[in-house]
Structure formats: structure tokens, C-alpha cells
Structure 1
Amino acid sequence: MLMNTPKSLPVKVCKIESDARNTAVWVKHIQNDFEIIWILEGTGLHTINGEQYSLSQNAVYVALPGDYHELLINPGAQGYIVRFDTSRPDQVDSDYHTINESWLYYYFSKTPVLRLDAGKHDKMKNLIMLMEQESAAYSSLHSEINSKCLQLFQLYLRQHIELLSNPSCTYKMNSLLKQYFWLVEKDFKTQKNVEYYARELNVSANYLNHMIKRASGYPASYHIRQRLFQEARKKAQYAGFSMKEIAYYLNFTDISHFSKFFKSMCGISFSEYKREELKRAV
């Protein structure tokens, strides 16, 4: 059983309460919001873009906007799903929006799983319970309270990430890096050159490349290409999308250019990838 908060809220909390007999299944779909899945008890299976991850206790699983997503919750499982929509900046503050579009996207696009430290378990659970209660109360300040609670929850996640990372790693991004990843997420379909992002950030392309490479190990152009490929791959997983349609969606003016781009990123041609996906879906 899944208990939902009102749809109009920018932050939605759903309580997972699977009974002892039935398996709950969320059918495959393209994710619209950021979704955080936290299993407190029990097990299940999380499929993201064709990759399967076994759900276990004290781990957070994330589906990002645009992910091809399926969730299976085994009987007796309990936990929470938190969804939030970063396309509504009028209802959340700018720091909240920046966090979502930078470190959260960057980390979880690489691996959609994060094991939690038991020491933070109770604090994080209390934040989710508070968001759930505030949503049910639907007070005049519910959006602001829930947004602040979500920021704290995200900061605890970020703390876990930084403890797992080298101190010089990307997850300790300064203001420039946060803005860069936010811009890439916003404009990657129309702006594919590093020079555009450098101009928007009032720095030189060389300086931006240097800062991004020092933080992540890869130049700025790498992250643009990876984001483009990730989006192309998601669209390709649907039988109804042709190469021409995906190329148009990603603003490639030349289909042959898109075809070469896809093969260079994937190692196989677009048609071969589609055939493999169709076999896997059967």
C-alpha cells in the first residue's frame, strides 16, 4: 500500500506499507520528478535504465528525472518514497534548486544507490516523518517547512557521500561547479559547447575545464557528452522512438552526426542497441 500526499505540493512523501502477502509493483515509466526510495524493512528490486539493484535496509535508491524506472516491493516491506519537483522554483528557494541540479544529480547519475550510516538513520527518518505530517496537515507554511526539511535530508545524504569520497572530490563543489552542473542539466539539449557555459559563468573555457577536471577527473565537455548520451539511451529504450526523433529531441541537426556520437559513446550502433533492448524487454 502506498499513501500519498496532495499532488499540488512541491515535496511529496509516500509511505511504503506492503502487506505480508502481496508484492507491490510500479510499472516501467519515465520518471518526471526526483524520487528518493528508502527501505526501512524488507526487500525489493529497483530497475533503472535497464540495470537492476536489489533493495535492502538502510540504503537510499534514487530515480532522476528522465530515468526509465521500475520498482518492485516484496511482501512485508516498509519505507518511504520522497518525490520533489525542481521545475517549480517559485515554491522552493534557489539553494534547494541548485543542490538538486548539481551534486544530487551528479552523484546519483553515476550510481543510484547510497548505503546509509546507522548513526544518521534516526535523524533522517524523523525529517521524513515531519514532512509526511506537515503534508497531511496542509498548513499555510507546509511548502516552506517541507522544503527546509528536504534540504536537511539532502545535506545528510551529501555528508554520507563526502565521507565516502576523497576530500578533493567533486562532491565538495564550490559555487562555480554547482552552477556549471545546474546549467548543464538545464541546457544540455541545446548547448553542447563548453564555451557557452564558460560565458554564462563569466570565466574562460580553459579555466572552467581546469576546475571541472580537477574536481571530477574529467573535463567539462565530458559531462555534457555524458548527459546527452544518458538522455539518448533512455529514449532509445522505448521502441516508439526512432533515431531521427531522438536526434531532433536533442537538437542534432545532422542525423549522421548523432549516429556517430551514439556509437562513439556506446560502442555499438543505434540500431544494434535498440535490438538488444528489445530482446531484454521480452
Structure 2
Amino acid sequence: MPGTSIPVNSITNKLDYSIAITRKTFADTWLSDELREAHRDDYHLFLLQEEGSTEIKIDFQAYRLEPKSIICIHPNQVHHLGPFFRGKVSFLIMNNESLLTDQLNLLDDISPLKPLPLDDESFNTITNTISLCIRVYEDKQRKLYHKLVKESCNLLVGLFISQYMETITPYDKLSRSAQINKLFKSLLDKNFITAKRPADYAQMLNISTPYLYECVKSITGFSISYHIEQRTILEAKRLLYYSDRSVKQIASDLGFNDYPYFTRLFAKVTGMTALAFRKKNHD
């Protein structure tokens, strides 16, 4: 059942250290209530489905992780895991401070991500690297323990990222319009609560609003305002579904001082009122 807010699992409540890696084998079962209920994490979660399958839901989208596939879940994404169907799954969790800066930036660039199947060679490389990381992680008496854990797990993250980057055009190969659109999307995800106008993002990028509009429109087919509205309403849906906060409270949480405007915007984007959305998804 929904609570007063979307639960956030904190790495500091789980670990003495900011990294953890493990491999688990499951019969047809669920994980703990904490993981199978909708929540966010304040860390990055990397999964490798080695055998069997796992059902996962990320921001209202259901997926099924099949054997030899990976997924990365970012801290801001609402998700829940399970059940597992006779699965073997490897888990790596790392917070922002544990990730190399370059890799953290790349993760921001390529988010959000869907499950990605691996070829046999890539699967074997990642599986063997996970086994190495687990051995290093479990040998807590080893000299330079924290350094070795951090560097080995960042190697693993790099392998995950490289698999996704093979499916994505590198930033330096993008057109100027595509680069600006990518930067806009990254800024939007971080600032949508406080920055509501296209001019806000143009100012952050140090370009004119008409030029930003031209770039975003040419790449996506939609206006800047459309993307701002969609990102805002996604967050509103999360709060309506996973919390019991009132619509007025949610509007305030999302930076709207004009409550009637928020309700009109929600209806315009979704085709239904906020209360109708909540009722439909809880029935």
C-alpha cells in the first residue's frame, strides 16, 4: 500500500562501506518486502541476470530480465524487483561518491536504461569480472582493501557502461543539435522542480531560447515545454501512485504555487485528473 512518500533505501542504512557486491541463487521466490515494494535507492544498482528470469518494474514500465542480460537502475528511478524464477542474479550497489567521475557522467548521459541482452563473449567477461570483484570484496583483511574494491567494481561498472554505449551514438559523434538536446535532457532531470521555463534551460546552456527550441525540436519532434511537462508529470505519477500525499501537496512538492494550474496541466498531459489516475492505478 502507498505510504506518505516513496521510500528511499539508503546505502548508509545497509552498509559500513559505500559498495556491495554479491551473487544470489533463487528458487521461484520474492526478495524481502523492502525490495519488492516500490522504492527508490540513493545508490546505483547494477544487475546481471545469469540464469532464470526476474520481473522488474521501473517507472511504470514492466520488464522481464532474461538470462545473460544486464540492467542499471539510477537513484531517482522508482522500481521494485521480483519475483525471481529459478534465477541466479549478481547485484552491485555503489553510491555516487564511489563511482569514478567519468563513469558517473556517462551513466547520467545514457539514462534511463532498459534491460540489455549480452552476447556470449561479453557475458563471460562480465561474469568473470563479477567473480573477481566478489573475491576482492569478501577478503576484508587484504591490504589496500577499500582501494581494490573500489577500483575492481569501477572496472565492472565500466564494462556495463561499455555494453550500453555500443548501442548509443557517442556524444562526440553527435550533431551539435543532438549534443544540445542531450545536455538539455540531463539538466531537465536535475532541475525540473525549480526550472519551469524554456528560457531557464537556455540560460544554463548559455544559448538563446530560440536556438535551444530549434535543437530540441529537430531531434525529438517536440518542444522544450513538452519535455518539461512530461518530466514533471512523470514525477507526479510516481507520487500519486506510490504515496498517499494529497494532490495539493504533490503540486507543492513539484514547485507549483498555482494548484489549479497543476491540475489542468496533469489533465492535459494524461487525459485524466490526478485523482482519477490514482484511483485507476490502485483499483
Aligning the two structures, in what range does the TM-score lie when normalised by the shorter sequence?
Answer: 0.7 to 0.9
How far apart in 2 are the matches of 1:119 and 1:271?
Answer: 49
**Structure 1 unaligned regions, length at least 5:** none
Equivalent pair of 1:169/1:216 in contact (CA under 8 Å):
no
User: 1:77 aligned to 2:80?
Assistant: no
Superposed displacement of residue 243, structure 1: 0.6
User: 1:121 aligned to 2:129?
Assistant: no
User: 1:13 aligned to 2:17?
Assistant: no
Equivalent pair of 2:38/2:242 in contact (CA under 8 Å):
no
How far apart in 2 are the matches of 1:132 and 1:242?
Answer: 44
Equivalent pair of 1:134/1:146 in contact (CA under 8 Å):
no
Q: Which residue of 2 aligns with 1:158?
A: 165
Equivalent pair of 1:228/1:250 in contact (CA under 8 Å):
yes
Equivalent pair of 2:49/2:66 in contact (CA under 8 Å):
yes
3-state DSSP of counterpart to 2:107: helix
| Deviates further, 228-237 or 40-49 | 40-49
Counterparts of 1:38-49 in structure 2, within 5 Å, are 38-49=48-59
Equivalent pair of 1:30/1:65 in contact (CA under 8 Å):
no
Distance 1:224 1:127, change over 3 A: farther
Superposed displacement of residue 31, structure 1: 1.6
What letter matches 1:270 in structure 2? Answer: A
The TM-score with structure 2 as length reference comes to: 0.78
**Structure 2 unaligned regions, length at least 5:** 1-10
Distance 1:249 1:83, change over 3 A: same
Q: Which residue of 1 aligns with 2:36?
A: 27
Superposed displacement of residue 146, structure 1: 2.4
How far apart in 1 are the matches of 2:211 and 2:60?
Answer: 37
Distance 1:178 1:52, change over 3 A: closer
Which among 179, 187, 193 is matched to residue 183 of structure 1? Answer: 187
Superposed displacement of residue 262, structure 1: 1.1
Equivalent pair of 1:168/1:215 in contact (CA under 8 Å):
no
The TM-score with structure 1 as length reference comes to: 0.78
How far apart in 2 are the matches of 1:134 and 1:177?
Answer: 40
How far apart in 1 are the matches of 2:231 and 2:240?
Answer: 14
Q: How many residues are matched?
A: 260
3-state DSSP of counterpart to 1:52: strand
Equivalent pair of 2:126/2:156 in contact (CA under 8 Å):
no
3-state DSSP of counterpart to 2:166: helix
Percentage of matched positions with identical amino acids:
21
| Deviates further, 227-236 or 211-220 | 211-220
What letter matches 1:146 in structure 2? Answer: C
Distance 1:58 1:161, change over 3 A: farther
How far apart in 1 are the matches of 2:216 and 2:139?
Answer: 43
How far apart in 1 are the matches of 2:131 and 2:51?
Answer: 16
Q: Which residue of 1 aligns with 2:237?
A: 233
3-state DSSP of counterpart to 1:74: strand
How far apart in 2 are the matches of 1:104 and 1:207?
Answer: 24
Superposed displacement of residue 177, structure 1: 4.7
